[in-house]
Every structure is written in C-alpha cells, then in structure tokens.
Amino acid sequence: MATPVTEIVLVNALFTAALELQQFLVKRDWKFCLIGGLAVVRWGQPRATQDVDVSLLADFGSEAEYVDPILDVFEGRLDDAREFALANRVVLVRSSNDVPLDIALAGFPFEEKVIERASSFVYAPGVELLTASAEDIVVMKAFAGRHQDWSDVEGIATRQGDGLDWQDIICGAQSLLDVAENSDMVRQLQKIRQDTLGN
C-alpha cells in the first residue's frame, strides 16, 4: 500500500508528464484532449492511475504524420513502436520522467466531437490540462466496458448528479452500438442514471 508521500510523488510525476505531452501537442497545433484516469479524477471519484491517456485527432491514412514526430521526441515503449502505432493507431511512449503515455489516434466522428468539446481544468497550481467532458468520459468508459470502467462511470454519476446531460450520454452510447462489444451498455447506463437520480 502506497504511503501518502509516495502518492504525492506519483501524482506530481503524472502532472509533469501530462504537461510535457500537452505542451508538445499544443506547440504543433494538434487537436487533442486527455482521457482516461486523469480525466476521471476531474469528474469522478479520485483513484490511482499510473499513466497519461490522450486522444489525438489524426485522419485515417495520415498516421505517420503524427507517429513519427512523437517518436522523435518521446521514447517508444515497444521495440516496434512505430509499426505498432501505424497498425493499431495507438502510440505507446514514455515521458522524460518515465511515465507511460498512451496516445490514441482519433478519427471517428464521435472521437472528433469529444476533442471539440474538451475544456481546461486546473488540477493544481501551474497544472492546467485539457480534458474530455464528463459526458464523453462516461460514454467512452461504457464502451470500454471493463469492471474499472463501470466503476468510473458510477463514480462520475455519483459526483456529478443531475449536472450530467444523460440525454447526450445515451445518444453518444447509441451511436457506438454498431461497433461496441457490449450491446447492453445503453441499458446499463440507463440503470446507473436511475440509481443515481431516482427517476
């Protein structure tokens, strides 16, 4: 079990890594936002996370235009990091302070909307990060559908309460049903909404 001091060091390392990556992306005027654990911390229940997840808008067929500059600056976490990134549209690198960075190349309409709707949030003095909206994080977590993802959804629903736009969430989830492995995710979201709001 991590001590409070260890937890502070880990959080500071994550913030440093996220800022480093964000500055790299902003400098190139690329469209992006943070997703994953750091975004959940903004909207939901605090939880441990050990990496930085980013969604980066990149048209299909233009992967190399993004992958190569990233790998020129950040160390790949795989021996075949470039080939893996081009094939899977996910760039797995590490920051200068050794924090894992997962950069997903976004290209679908829903992903583009997520990035367009992103907003900045001040996590700590000097740490302002661009993250996806609460609604979009809920949809992405429901789509991923792992146990931790549903726990994150419940945490966001509990913390945000009636501040969430559930109509937008259900609409977003329905738009992904054709490619979702969990065809029941809309029903699960509706149940969480009912449990949270009581209606």
Question: pLDDT of 159-179, one tens digit each?
Answer: 999 999 999 999 999 988 877
pLDDT band with cut points at 50, 70 and 90 for residue 199: low
Q: Name the pTM for this structure.
A: 0.90
% of the chain with per-residue pLDDT over 70: 93
In 63-172, which ranges are E strands?
75-76, 90-94, 100-106, 119-124, 127-131
% of the chain with per-residue pLDDT over 90: 83
Is the C-alpha dihedral spanning 30, 45, 128, 116 positive or negative?
positive
Which run of H or of E encompasses 3? none
DSSP string, 44-56: S------SEEEEE
Residue range 116-142: mean pLDDT, rounded: 96
Domains of the chain in start order, with CATH, are 1-132 (3.30.460.40), 134-199 (no CATH)
